[in-house]
Amino acid sequence: MRSGKLFGPSRLRKKASARLDADYYIVGLGNPGGKYAHTRHNAGFDVIGILSQRHGIPVRIHDFGARLGHGEIKGRRVTLCMPQTYMNNSGESVKEMAKALGLRADQLILVYDDVDLNTGVVRIKERGSAGTHNGMKSVIYHLQTDEFVRVRVGIGKPDGDIVDYVLGEYADKQAAFDTLAKAADAVEAILEDGVAAAQNRYNQR
């Protein structure tokens, strides 16, 4: 995985890094607003919410077109990020944050819903294409790299219209919460034990 900064020097870096400098930046993808809260497409937001609650990290800072929180998880300094640019433009917010803070690609962990995984499945991937996910397409386009870790939260494929499906609520809310909690566990495992060990634990067929 590339170790250099994603972008060159930024005049914003000194001011922003004072409160948000971290070992890892965990970005959950979703859509802002009550209309979309806890829908399948907001799995990334919900995982950030679980991590926020578990570790006492309020996500209340507003910057870079995102809601942010700064704290510690498993001995690692982390910044939690929920882009507020709507899903299809998620990359705009992530790029702004990456540029201002001088992020390396290997400091990013993206969490998002995935219709190509069965409901309840969580997978960790180190790099690769966005698949059919427009939010990930936006992030890869704006960062000009796909070499960052992602935690994919399986929501399954619909029988009918995919837009209605991903923007709809879960049929089994307890099962959905269990899956989201497992995705949060996977993020913690990456922070504590590294990507390879976390993949061995969560990518079993």
Q: Which residues are catalytic?
A: 41
**Phi then psi for 94, rounded to 5 degrees?**
-65, -40
Report which of 199, 205, 170 is spatially closest to residue 187, judged by C-alpha positions: 199
| CA-derived radius of gyration, the chain | 16
The sign of the dihedral angle between the CA atoms of 125, 127, 132, 135 is positive
Residue 77 corresponds to which tokens in the numbers above?
């300094």
**C-alpha span between 113 and 120 (Å, rounded):** 11
